[in-house]
Amino acid sequence: MDSSTQQAVDARALLDAAYQKRGKKADETATINDWHNKIGLGTFDRGALQAMIVNRGGLFSKLEVDAAQIEMQGRKSAAIFSADPTGLQKAAAAKASIDFLDAGGDDEKASFAWAEERASAQIDYKAATKSSSSKAADVTSSNSIVKLLVAAREEATVAGKSAADYISMPSYQKAVDLSQLINRSRSSVSWTL
């Protein structure tokens, strides 16, 4: 069993143990605080959360997937707030976002959503440091999909289109195609529990 499959199995076991301890499964009435503290998502590592987010092995309900997404977003927000508590340091916030995203595991980085967030944070950081007198860190991602998404944003700018129109750019479609190709090859690997 590969590590991401094991993380999914372990996350399922932890959830089931938490439900048993509480005497009930989580339902729509469970709050973010319930998920974080009582059910214990706050103790899950990122790999376990990512296994839930992608519903590895079909082991998780929609409610559990949504809760894992909220927990992961909460962790990212906390990292950004720690770097920029006033909301005025755009470069610090973007760099914290980049650092958080780059610390993710391979499964997390295989998602198109991760690549879009990473590209956006990179663009935000470069824009925020453009007029700064201090030396900016090199935050250029080595991820091919991120590179294509950044290129799509640049293509939109050159074409005089808004940032939202980058999805109509050739590099965006190349990023989508590459992501699908990579994920097809990843999912063709057979595994059983």
Answer with the one of 63, 83, 103 that is the final residue of a domain: 83
144: containing domain? 87-193
H or E element in which residue 193 lies = none
Q: What is the average pLDDT value for the chain, to the nearest integer?
A: 91
Task: Note the pLDDT of residue 160.
Answer: 94
Supply φ then ψ for residue 145, to 5 degrees.
-70, -40
Do 164 and 94 lie in a common domain? yes
Do 57 and 106 lie in a common domain? no
Instruction: Give, in order, the Cα–Cα distances in Å from 19 to each of 57, 62, 144, 175.
Output: 20, 16, 41, 40
Do 18 and 95 lie in a common domain? no
**DSSP state string for 91-148:** HHHHHHHHHHHHTS-HHHHTSHHHHHHHHHHHHHHHHHHTT-SSPPP------HHHHH
Tens-place pLDDT, residues 28-46: 888 999 999 999 999 999 9
Answer with the one of 56, 83, 110 that is the final residue of a domain: 83
Choice between 193 and 98, residue whose per-residue pLDDT is larger: 98
Q: The pTM is what?
A: 0.86
Do 103 and 184 lie in a common domain? yes
Split at pLDDT 50, 70, 90, the class of 191 is very low
Tens-place pLDDT, residues 114-134: 999 999 999 999 999 997 777
Task: Note the pLDDT of residue 193.
Answer: 45
Query: How many other C-beta atoms lie within 10 A of the C-beta of residue 34?
Result: 17
- pLDDT > 70? residue 14: yes
Burial letters for 147-180: b for 16+ Cβ neighbours within 10 Å, e otherwise? bbbbbbbebbeeeeeeeebbeebebbebbbebbe
- pLDDT > 70? residue 64: yes
Residues of the chain above pLDDT 70, percent: 95
- How many domains, the chain? 2
